[in-house]
């Protein structure tokens, strides 16, 4: 494609976009169980209007747009207060959880370079269930991420984590909770481990940071998981998840400025003058800051409590309904409105069950390690929970009656992805798919035909599922 020689009519363009969008998933129907954080149309319209007020402002210079700076500082202060941070807590807003995590990991690495110069190859220890954004940080910033096996409940295992601590370890990680299963790691216990070995300790609360406070206020007991644990030195939490702000908005917080200062980048040699940023981005959209601030102000504690209660009550009902199905088991001990389930001993094959549910129109988030299905309960899911359970029961009966289905369709592909031992080869093929998608082959199928001819049968299936995943993700 090329840029049109002449500009196109506004109404024609909007109509073309509406037509294209009509083929997207209609998540408001309640059949999607992830990604879309939405309360109601009133709040949604407020976010759009607040974002629109700062549509053109470039927040690269916070001193040029003092109103945005004021809102960012107030958002950070409100979040720090919600997470029981002491007066010393500082931080910034970011474009999302991944940027918050990258910044925290970078700051910790730079802190270690200054305070532990003998460490040439820094290591970070985490439970296996930690978010992939930490792997991304390790890849980008050149440290090793050592992952410990978890308990059968999918909680972090302190004994396993301690065995991985070495003289080069600078940081421990934990999830509040893990995204895949909604399981809260034992943060006070890991905090004791951090104190014992003199390590930094980051808590990833990207998904739970704006739910767990209300879970506690609603009277549900949780172990301490935020800055109440003295060993916690940094945290990340997403405003565009259960903070119900506009995408993308997150917060990264540090207990002390001594850690935060390493996040700031300054270049004094640029011919255009001194260049300094507090986050990864240069140009920063002011609209996401404004929408996050407006969202917090609009809902208030009462609004968050009301919505949290509705989602938790619905999750309780969904969990009870799932547990009443003899073949189903819940993974671990979910602490909020996230849960994952599988079939006992994977009988019938959970991926076959997922295929059946997909044919019924549900958007299914398949998982691995262990094979399971992920559910996050949002307000728009509540009216259709009964229908979901009804279809799930039918899916299980169909899968039991058709055992050969495990070797067909997406079930075989996802089963392969969950059990394949050659994960390095998987990584290489995923990278090739993305190169084809975003490179010169944009819009075409990945060139896998020759590989399929020369590779075993499972490799052909792998290439097909990678191609399917790329189309789905696009």
Which DSSP helix (H) or strand (E) runs through 201? Answer: strand 200-204
Which DSSP helix (H) or strand (E) runs through 436? Answer: helix 423-438
7 located within any domain: no
**The token pair that represents 61 in the structure block:** 């210079």
411 located within any domain: no
Same-domain pairing of 245 and 117: yes
- Residue ranges making up the domain that contains 98: 50-295
31 located within any domain: no
Burial of 354 (0-12, 13-18, 19+ CB in 10 A): buried
Same-domain pairing of 186 and 221: yes
Distance CA 292, CA 287 (A): 9
Distance CA 259, CA 460 (A): 48
Same-domain pairing of 437 and 391: no
43 located within any domain: no
Same-domain pairing of 444 and 315: no
Same-domain pairing of 264 and 338: no
Same-domain pairing of 291 and 215: yes
Q: Could you give the number of structural domains in the chain?
A: 3
**The token pair that represents 106 in the structure block:** 């970078």
Same-domain pairing of 264 and 285: yes
Q: Are 385 and 435 in contact (CB under 8 A)?
A: no
Say what the alpha-carbon torsion angle 463, 466, 467, 468 is, to the nearest 10 degrees: 120
The predicted structure's pLDDT at residue 428:
62
List strand residue ranges (DSSP E) for 248-337, in order. Answer: 250-254, 265-267, 275-277, 328-330
108 located within any domain: yes
Q: Consecutive 10-residue runs of the chain (474 residues): their mean pLDDT?
A: 87 91 82 85 92 88 86 95 95 94 96 94 97 95 96 96 97 96 97 97 97 97 97 96 91 94 87 85 90 95 96 97 97 96 93 92 90 94 96 95 77 59 57 52 42 50 53 40
Same-domain pairing of 88 and 230: yes
Q: Are 207 and 374 in contact (CB under 8 A)?
A: no
**The token pair that represents 58 in the structure block:** 């470039």
The predicted structure's pLDDT at residue 471:
43
Q: What distances in angstroms separate CA 286 from CA 47, 59, 61, 122, one per listed residue?
A: 13, 5, 11, 35
The predicted structure's pLDDT at residue 34:
84
CB neighbour burial string for 411-431, b if at least 16 within 10 angstroms, e if fewer: bbbbbbbbeeeeeeebeebee
The predicted structure's pLDDT at residue 297:
96
Same-domain pairing of 325 and 281: no
Output phi, psi for 317, to 5 deg. Answer: -65, -45
The predicted structure's pLDDT at residue 413:
62
36 located within any domain: no
19 located within any domain: no
Question: Which CATH number covers residue 70?
Answer: 3.40.640.10
Of 226, 261, 295, the residue that ends a domain is 295
Distance CA 208, CA 337 (A): 9
194 located within any domain: yes
Single out the residue of 164, 118, 109, 166 nearest to residue 141, CA to CA: 109
Same-domain pairing of 177 and 309: no
The predicted structure's pLDDT at residue 33:
82
The predicted structure's pLDDT at residue 242:
92
Burial of 358 (0-12, 13-18, 19+ CB in 10 A): middle
User: Which string of DSSP letters, residue by residue, matches 140-180?
Assistant: HHT-EEEEE-B-TTS-B-HHHHHHH--TTEEEEEEESS-TT
Question: Which CATH number covers residue 338?
Answer: 3.90.1150.10
Same-domain pairing of 392 and 430: no
**Tally of CB atoms within 10 A around 165:** 18
The predicted structure's pLDDT at residue 89:
94
Question: Which residues, at least 6 apart from 358, have a Cβ–Cβ distance to it below 8 Å?
Answer: 364, 410
């Amino acid at each position: 494609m090329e840029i049109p020689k002449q500009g196109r009519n506004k109404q024609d363009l909007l109509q073309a976009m509406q037509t294209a969008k009509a083929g997207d998933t209609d998540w408001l129907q309640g059949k999607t169980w992830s990604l879309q954080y939405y309360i109601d149309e009133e709040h949604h319209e407020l976010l759009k209007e607040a974002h629109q007020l700062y549509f053109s402002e470039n927040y690269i210079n916070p001193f040029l747009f003092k109103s945005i700076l004021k809102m960012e500082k107030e958002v950070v202060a409100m979040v720090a207060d919600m997470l029981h941070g002491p007066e010393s807590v500082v931080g910034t807003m970011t474009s999302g959880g991944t940027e918050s995590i990258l910044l925290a990991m970078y700051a910790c690495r730079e802190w270690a370079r200054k305070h532990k110069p003998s460490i040439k190859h820094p290591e970070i220890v985490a439970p296996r269930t930690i978010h992939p954004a930490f792997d991304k940080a390790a890849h980008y910033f050149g440290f090793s991420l050592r992952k410990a096996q978890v308990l059968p409940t999918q909680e972090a295992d302190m004994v396993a984590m301690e065995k991985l601590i070495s003289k080069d370890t600078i940081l421990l990680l934990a999830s509040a909770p893990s995204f895949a299963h909604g399981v809260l790691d034992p943060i006070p216990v890991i905090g004791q481990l951090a104190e014992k070995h003199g390590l930094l300790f980051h808590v990833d609360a990207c998904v739970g940071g704006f739910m767990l406070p209300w879970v506690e206020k609603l009277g549900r007991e949780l172990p301490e998981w935020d800055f109440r644990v003295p060993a916690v030195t940094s945290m990340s939490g997403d405003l565009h998840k259960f903070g119900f702000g506009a995408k993308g908005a997150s917060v990264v917080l540090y207990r002390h400025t001594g850690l935060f200062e390493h996040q700031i980048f300054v270049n004094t040699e640029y011919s255009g003058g001194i260049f300094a940023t507090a986050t990864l981005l240069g140009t920063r959209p002011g609209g996401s800051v404004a929408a996050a601030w407006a969202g917090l102000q609009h809902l208030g504690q009462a609004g968050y409590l009301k919505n949290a209660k509705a989602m938790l009550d619905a999750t309780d009902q969904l969990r009870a309904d799932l547990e009443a199905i003899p073949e189903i088991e819940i993974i671990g001990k979910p602490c909020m409105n996230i849960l994952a389930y599988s079939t006992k001993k994977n009988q019938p094959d959970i991926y076959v069950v997922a295929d059946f549910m997909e044919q019924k129109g549900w958007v299914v988030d398949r998982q691995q390690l262990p094979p399971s299905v992920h559910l996050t309960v949002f307000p728009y899911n509540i009216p259709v929970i009964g229908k979901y359970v009804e279809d799930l029961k039918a899916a299980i009966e169909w899968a039991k009656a058709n055992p050969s289905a495990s070797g067909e369709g997406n079930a075989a592909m996802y089963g392969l992805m969950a059990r394949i031992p050659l994960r390095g080869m998987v990584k290489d093929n995923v990278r090739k798919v993305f190169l084809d998608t975003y490179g010169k082959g944009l819009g075409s199928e990945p060139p896998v035909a020759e590989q399929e001819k020369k590779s075993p049968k499972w490799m052909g299936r792998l290439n097909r599922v990678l191609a399917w995943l790329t189309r789905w993700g696009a």
